[in-house]
A and B are shown apart, each in its own frame.
Chain A
């Protein structure tokens, strides 16, 4: 039991839980701001997930010292890109969230309503 309770599995579980909470919010909340928050949670959950599984088992950090032989370094180290790219993902998530909020703002300015059910003029 305790072996399973490592940092990776905790991260994984938390990540998935946050994703589900976010998705639930996205699909059930009627308030536009809450929907955006749902999305942001979904996003964060994904980031946690990325951090917790974005490596390869039995490999080491990409630091070239005596632990890592330079000749077959490529086979021994974990590519740092996925970890670093979580940052990129966060930035992108931020961008999308910001854009969503600005859209909400525009929608509110036009119709004075934050209820998603009031924005169904286009359909079928």
Chain B
């Protein structure tokens, strides 16, 4: 193997020899530099390989033939090898990225560039603290030298600020080093650790000065204005180096020197990390400049890693996993984002939509941002999971709350930014992407994917089968050039195969009713709802991989047996659905609120799972039943995550717009299938926590109230909507309220209602949204008052909507009535009369919007421009009629679903439930026979139909324009129509219930955050001297804190 000393030799040698090439061709000098750096990377990579593949021992290299402290020694161990490889790979990629700049400036700049990376390498390897100082200085001097690559005035003044600040820091370090020598007698770091400097008189000052300088090198909030300005103004290639290589090296210095301070220093470092992590991410929310945001995020991240370092004792043998998975994913992602920022070359994140037409760039940006957010399948997800779980295990819930809060702040600005990159772009400015600029980002994203796989395997939490969906998604992504038609077939085939394996081969033999039902909703539903995809023209780039990810996330939920698998699937499904919603034309804003609510909910769930792990020591989902002491907490925290998904009152504000603005075939998917994930989660949660566990008995009562109020408000809001998709969307809130109410009754009948209603809701909600989408597909409008009289043009859609609303309204003879009947039985048996009355009332409200749907779309006179409309496409109709058949079958024979569910439930609620005799179901309150009702109904319907048909011969048809407007032509004729603002009188009476005070209060919270952040960040005055003062004050404050002055 090539010794690490050659890293220095080769770098220095090449750097000096570059001097001879000043006059020569610059390509040659660049080639020379690149070759040398590649070789250095090879050396470090080879050591890393040695440490990973076999038991390579850590080696010490003594220079000049003496042992330390009389000579400088270098160390090469596993950690050194990891950090060196990271730094050198980044150096190589940066060299490619900065090719233009370096070539323009010539051999001198290349020399500086090489020396920067050599400096960082030595800083990592050296075990002599003075040597560390020297090479740290070399790195900062070369770095500031590189800042001049950008000729702008801002870059130069920020370089000056950087010099002042790093000058002060290095003087502090120098004084610390000499004091340490004076008190400890050695500059060899191992000796310094052994000599317990803290206990020597005066030694603590030396330790303080050294460590505070290292902390300041990490640019802690708030003493970091100088670094932020550099991030903002330097060319993004330098930003990548500062964030990826310099910050990483600084972290390693802290890691190396922290033992000098011993355990006493762990907490202060942790607190410094907390301030940085929370502070930077909070202020990041207010930023608009892309590079500055990246700077804030970078500093926040370093804060998180400091926290992790300080908690190393609690993390035990998971420390390395957590630290490296988070560090490496951030290092790759941040560098990648800086590079993309350089390609886009726009300051404001609002201008990033220039990449709207560059799918490759969008995917790269997405990968990097989601990696930063720690969403699956990216490596930081596993790191965060282990971090939180291990902290939970040792009961560190304050730390958990802090970490998740900071992550949430980070999520706010990263996701808002991501939304902005997808904004519509009127500006036709063409973006030129040079190969050498995009290449490093592509490599970096590949490394992320590779590392995702490695961490997943390393974590031991994932079996290989979890990668199948990702593999399929990647395959579909690779085949994205194919037309929609083929890709749609592929997607349907994939989901069909998946449902065959899962439902037919697994759950049916196991007779696991709950999983069969939800497998059916999630997967068979998916197949049906993929059919309308055939109507789309072109390529629909990126759609199919996301659909596959979303549905496999849903399937993952029912497959999950541990809280990890559940959380993984949950996050994957959330992420994919967010990306699907955001594809809608005007869905940027609403998808932002969807993902924020979802993430907040997921974090709560995360804490809940952590708390359960703390008490039971197991991550099995079944272990939730054993939680006793913290049962209420776990229950509430986990439930909040599910309530967000089913859009219960209070956390519902994301739903209406998200449903409305999503693509027309995505809306049925999320409204009828995706929401059921929340229902499924609640069922799992209640099965283990309410039934088997008596400790948390009050919560269902509260949930019942939330359910009842959601039902009322959801339905109330639905009736006033003029946008037909929004109307159906609001009704979803109401129906989900019913289901929640049913579940929280905690009785056999309540659950029977809720579970069967989940199926029914899936059927009719998909039916309604498909029908509505099919109509919108033809009429090109969503405003309900612009429709009307479509019954003759679209009779099949009319039948769909009719069946849909009859089921929704719970009128006999369709299965909705079965739900209602069981529901009232359940309410009466339970004795929840007041809540029951509210739900009953909201059922009546539902009639109003059901009528609106059928009347305003299909009845009355037809609009002029709709006279030539055709029935909607067959691809919209096929799934509708499959759904209608489904509804009809279970309307006639509800027994086929109710009996197995009842059997399943009697395991949990024995001795209650429906008693079946033939097709008749009875409870202690009465009986009901769906088949009979259906026959009676069909008979009556037939009679009335015949009578009407006979009468219709006498009817005189009044044509639409057989009306006289008395010579007056209204400005907008449709507004005079009955259908416009249909329920205004009700609005007058009960409109206060529909006032958007919940939306307003959430917005108020969001605005307040902004306002506070806006005030706080004013202390970054922009004056280099103020920044220097911040540093001095930080040192003083830190000293007082350490010595108990505060």
Contacts and interface: CB of A to CB of B under 8 A. Distances in A.
Interface in A79-124: 79, 81-82, 85, 88-89, 92, 95-96, 99-100, 103-104, 106-107, 110-111, 116-117, 119-124
B1018 to A, nearest CB: 6
A123 B170 CA distance: 24
B177 to A, nearest CB: 8
Interface in A31-78: 32, 35, 39, 42-43, 46, 49-50, 53-56, 74
B179 interface: yes
B160 A100 contact: yes
A111 B1020 contact: no
B819 interface: no
A124 B174 contact: no
B160 A119 contact: yes
A89 B1025 contact: no
Interface string A17-34: 001000100111010100
A117 B1022 CA distance: 9
Contacts of A43: 167, 171
Contacts of B1020: 123-124
A85 B130 contact: yes
B130 A117 contact: no
Contacts of B145: 99
Interface size class of A (residues with CB under 8 A): 35 or more
A53 B158 contact: no
Interface in B971-1025: 1017-1018, 1020-1025
B420 to A, nearest CB: 19
A54 B178 contact: yes
Interface stretch (B181-189, B597-605, B750-758, B883-891): B181-189
Interface in B157-210: 157-160, 163-164, 167-168, 170-171, 174-175, 178-179, 181-182, 185-187
A92 B163 contact: no
Contacts of B1029: 27
Contacts of A81: 69-70, 130, 187
Given A81-B130, A81-B187, A50 B174 contact: yes
Given A53-B178, A104-B160, A121-B153, A79 B69 contact: yes
A77 to B, nearest CB: 10
A85 B186 CA distance: 14
A101 to B, nearest CB: 10
A96 B70 contact: no
Contacts of A96: 137, 141, 163, 167, 170
A92 B163 CA distance: 13
Given A27-B1029, A79-B187, A107-B160, A120 B1022 contact: yes
A27 to B, nearest CB: 6
B164 A35 contact: yes
B156 A82 contact: no
A74 B1024 contact: no
B1028 A26 contact: yes
Which of B69, B156, B157, B186 has the most chain A CB atoms closer than 10 A to its own CB? B157
Nearest to B152: A110
A27 B1025 contact: yes
B134 interface: yes
A47 B620 CA distance: 62
A120 B1021 contact: yes
B154 A121 contact: yes
B233 interface: yes
A53 B134 contact: no
B130 to A, nearest CB: 5
Given A27-B1032, A107-B156, A107-B157, A92 B178 contact: no
A82 B1032 contact: no
B1022 A122 contact: yes
Contacts of B1023: 116-117, 119-120
Nearest to B148: A106
Interface in B124-163: 130, 134, 137, 141, 144-145, 148, 153-154, 156-160, 163
Contact of B182 (A39, A53, A89, A100): A53
B229 interface: yes
Contacts of B159: 103
Contacts of B1024: 35, 116, 119
Interface in B621-636: none
Nearest to B184: A56
B163 A122 contact: no
Contacts of B187: 79, 81-82
Nearest to B283: A124
Interface residues of B, number: 48
Contacts of A88: 130, 134
A100 B167 CA distance: 10
Nearest to B233: A122
B175 A49 contact: yes
Contacts of A95: 137, 141
B1017 A124 contact: yes
A123 B232 CA distance: 10
A105 to B, nearest CB: 10
A42 B171 contact: yes
A106 B144 CA distance: 13
B517 to A, nearest CB: 54
Nearest to A110: B153
A45 B186 CA distance: 22
Given A107-B157, A107-B160, A99 B144 contact: yes
Contacts of A23: 168, 1032
A74 B158 CA distance: 47
Contacts of B182: 53-56
A27 B69 CA distance: 37
Contact of B1028 (A27, A50, A99, A119): A27
A96 to B, nearest CB: 6
Which of A43, A89, A107 has the most chain B CB atoms closer than 10 A to its own CB? A89
Contacts of B168: 23, 26, 39, 42
B180 to A, nearest CB: 10
Contacts of A99: 141, 144-145, 163
B174 A46 contact: yes
A92 B134 contact: yes
Which of A50, A74, A106, A123 has the most chain B CB atoms closer than 10 A to its own CB? A123
B68 to A, nearest CB: 10
B163 A100 contact: yes
A54 B157 CA distance: 36
Contacts of B141: 92, 95-96, 99
A99 B156 CA distance: 12
Contacts of B1032: 23, 27
A34 to B, nearest CB: 11
Contacts of A82: 130, 178, 181, 187
Nearest to A22: B171
A35 B1022 contact: no
Contacts of A120: 1021-1023
A26 B1023 CA distance: 12
Contacts of B175: 19, 46, 49
Which of B137, B181, B229, B1028 has the most chain A CB atoms closer than 10 A to its own CB? B181
A39 B228 CA distance: 22
Nearest to A56: B185
15 contacts: A46-B171, A50-B174, A55-B182, A56-B182, A74-B70, A81-B70, A81-B130, A88-B130, A92-B137, A96-B167, A103-B144, A122-B228, A122-B229, A123-B229, A123-B1022
Instruction: List the 9 closest pairs (A to B, CB-CB), nearest first.
Output: A123-B1022, A120-B1022, A119-B157, A122-B229, A53-B182, A103-B160, A50-B178, A92-B137, A124-B1017
Given A28-B1025, A124-B1018, 13 more contacts: A46-B171, A79-B186, A82-B178, A92-B141, A99-B141, A103-B144, A103-B159, A110-B156, A116-B1023, A121-B1022, A122-B154, A122-B232, A124-B1017
Interface of A: 19, 23, 26-28, 30, 32, 35, 39, 42-43, 46, 49-50, 53-56, 74, 79, 81-82, 85, 88-89, 92, 95-96, 99-100, 103-104, 106-107, 110-111, 116-117, 119-124
